[in-house]
Each structure stands twice: as C-alpha cells, then as structure tokens.
A and B are shown apart, each in its own frame.
Chain A
Amino acid sequence: GESVGLHLPTLSVQEGDNSIINCAYSNSASDYFIWYKQESGKGPQFIIDIRSNMDKRQGQRVTVLLNKTVKHLSLQIAATQPGDSAVYFCAEIAYGNNRLAFGKGNQVVVIP
C-alpha cells in the first residue's frame, strides 16, 4: 500500500507478477526520460530511457511508457523477481539543460 509523509510510496508485488511504477513530471519542455533503480546502500543504476518522440520502449523485462499529453511516465517490470526489490526513480531532462531532475522515488517490495 501507499505511505505518506517522509515515506516513499510502496508497491508490494508477488514474485512472478508484473509491476507498474508510475511517475508524473511537470516540465512540458522535458524531452528525455530515464528510469533508475537504486538498491539499498548503492548509487542509482540506469534501467531504460525514452525520448519524447516515442511513447513506448522495451528492454529486457522492462517497458517504459510515455504519455506526453498528461505528462506521465510508467515503468512496467514483467515477471518481477526478488532482485527487483529497490527504489525506482524517474528522471527528466529538457533539451539545453545540464541536469537530470529526479522524482521522489517508489519503493518496490517483492514478496517471495
């Protein structure tokens, strides 16, 4: 279930099920989006990216969907595994900008 305040939104998913993590962005000028995975005690790790001229991109067990109309990004993880337990961040960058703007993150907990 979801948590509020200082706690991250948490998605609990059964091993083998599919996971969907959502992210809303605010800058309509953003044209490049990335999903990162961060395990406890480690730095973020690149998962998949998508440019604004696409609405879907697939990787290995992961799919990113981009809806520019409502400024929404999602990450789908197929057949979730215990190793997928982590915090997932979306990040956006606008052309001409130097920095990635990160969302607050979503905690995914995989139940064996």
Chain B
Amino acid sequence: GAGVSQSPSNKVTEKGKDVELRCDPISGHTALYWYRQSLGQGLEFLIYFQGNSAPDKSGLPSDRFSAERTGGSVSTLTIQRTQQEDSAVYLCASSLGPLEGEQYFGPGTRLTVT
C-alpha cells in the first residue's frame, strides 16, 4: 500500500523567498507530524496535527514557519522569507492515532537555501 509521500523531494531556493512543502499521509491516519533534520542531527519536532483538534505548534522555530492540514489529510508546511539556517531535510510522519509511537515517515524534502 501507499506510504507517506512528500513533495518536492529537493528544493533549492534563494534566501528571502517563501517555500511550501507538501505531505500526503497514509490514508486513514489521523495524526500527522512535521520534523526537521539538520545534517548529522536527530529529528527536531515542529508541529503535530490530530484530527480536528487545534495543532500543537510548540516546535515551530519562528513565526516564519506555519503549517496547515486540509480536510484532515494533506498538510503543507510553509516557510516564509527563508534563511540559510532553514536548510535541512523536512520530514513528515503519520500515525493511526494520537500518541502512537509507530509513526510512518515519508522520504523527506531536502531544502537548500542559498
């Protein structure tokens, strides 16, 4: 069956531009997570969506970052006025329900800000 998909797989953008990253979770998964992974580092939590509840945005590093999830399915992570320190791999994961440890990860979007 289809796993979590993300697009684009790679994105190169100039400093100051806005970018949108897309995540398609596994069908039927109510929980969706965004993480950021810098080179050689672990995963940094960004935001968590669960069903129709208000998202947990506590991991977003600045107000340049925002995310939405439409219809309880597809999610978009938007970074405005990108900075070089935003360069990282952005990973999306979904799980069947809240607090389910077995999160299924997508392949990630590698963002490079020049």
Q: Which residue numbers of A lie inside 8 Å of B, CB to CB?
A: 6-8, 32, 34, 41-46, 49, 89, 91, 93, 95, 97-105
B101 touches A44 (CB 8 A): no
A interface SS class? loop
A46 touches B102 (CB 8 A): yes
Query: Is B65 in the interface zone, CB < 8 Å from A?
Result: no
Q: Which residue numbers of B lie inside 8 Å of A, CB to CB?
A: 4, 33, 35, 39-45, 48, 50, 56, 59, 91, 93, 98-99, 101-108
B102 touches A89 (CB 8 A): no
A49 touches B42 (CB 8 A): no
Q: Which of B41, B91, B98, B105 contacts A104 (CB under 8 A)?
A: B41
A42 contacts which chain B residues (CB < 8 A)? 107-108
B4 contacts which chain A residues (CB < 8 A)? 43
B48 touches A98 (CB 8 A): yes
